[in-house]
């Protein structure tokens, strides 16, 4: 289970981490593979363990759309949802550029290696409480905010058991709810 202190990234932090991961810095070489894995996690919202087992063949063309069809490692639940064309293209191009065949694992690295590299980058950027799970939480928060704060939609995308679990997950606190309620007044 993810550390409860792990938090969602802001857009600025996401961009900082990915840019730093790709360019490197003194004492840390660039790592496009890990940056790409984290980008995919932030865009599909699946756990890093599932990203690291992903094959291009797990994305199935169905008519004019693409869908991801995997069994989640953690929950053993089937994940079957649309992958935006741009994300599929991004993954396909990465595979072509790196000589990865459709039935090969795209990221043959360990979760520990990803966490270790991410920690080096976030320490250098002086960012706290960030792990690979922060990218899944980033996905959830961005979907929540860009879809009129539809908690049920995010719950279904993440396959959480209840909206309350999702609410805690994306960091909607009791204070946030109270603040929202205090702003909502339609008196006559």
Cβ atoms of 34 and 21 closer than 8 Å: yes
149 vs 34, 50, 74, 153, 167, CA distance in Å?
Answer: 30, 26, 27, 9, 10
Q: Tell me what pLDDT residue 178 has.
A: 66
Q: With 0-12 CB in 10 A as exposed, 13-18 as middle and 19+ as buried, what is 13?
A: middle
Nearest to 106 by CA among 51, 68, 66, 60: 51
Query: Is residue 152 within a helix (H) or strand (E), and if so which, with residue range?
Result: helix 151-158
Nearest to 5 by CA among 117, 174, 126, 130: 130
- Beta-carbon contacts of 154 under 8 Å, excluding residues fewer than 6 positions away, are 140, 143, 144, 147, 166, 170
The residue that leads in pLDDT, 80 or 33, is: 33
The yes or no reply on domain 11-136 and CATH 3.90.15.10 is yes
**Confidence band of 4 (pLDDT split at 50, 70, 90):** low
Which two tokens mark 52? 């690291």
**Confidence band of 47 (pLDDT split at 50, 70, 90):** very high
pTM, entire model: 0.88
Query: Is residue 68 within a helix (H) or strand (E), and if so which, with residue range?
Result: strand 65-71
Range from 28-42, 78-92, 174-188 carrying the lowest mean pLDDT? 174-188
Q: Tell me what pLDDT residue 91 has.
A: 97
Residue 2 pLDDT > 60: no
**Confidence band of 77 (pLDDT split at 50, 70, 90):** confident
């Amino acid at each position: 289970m993810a550390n409860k202190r792990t938090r969602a990234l802001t857009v600025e932090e996401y961009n900082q981490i990915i840019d730093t991961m790709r360019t490197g810095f003194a004492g840390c070489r660039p790592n496009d593979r890990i940056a790409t894995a984290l980008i995919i996690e932030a865009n599909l919202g699946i756990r890093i363990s599932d990203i690291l087992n992903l094959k291009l063949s797990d994305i199935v063309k169905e008519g004019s759309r693409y869908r991801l069809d995997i069994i989640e490692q953690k929950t053993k639940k089937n994940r079957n949802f649309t992958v935006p064309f741009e994300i599929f293209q991004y993954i396909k191009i990465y595979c072509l550029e790196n000589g990865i065949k459709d039935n090969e694992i795209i990221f043959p690295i360990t979760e520990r290696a990803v966490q270790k590299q991410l920690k080096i980058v976030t320490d250098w950027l002086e960012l706290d409480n960030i792990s690979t799970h922060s990218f899944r939480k980033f996905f959830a928060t961005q979907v929540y905010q860009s879809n009129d704060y539809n908690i049920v939609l995010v719950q279904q995308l993440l396959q959480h058991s209840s909206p309350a679990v999702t609410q805690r997950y994306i960091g909607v606190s009791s204070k946030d709810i109270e603040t929202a309620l205090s702003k909502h007044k339609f008196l006559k």
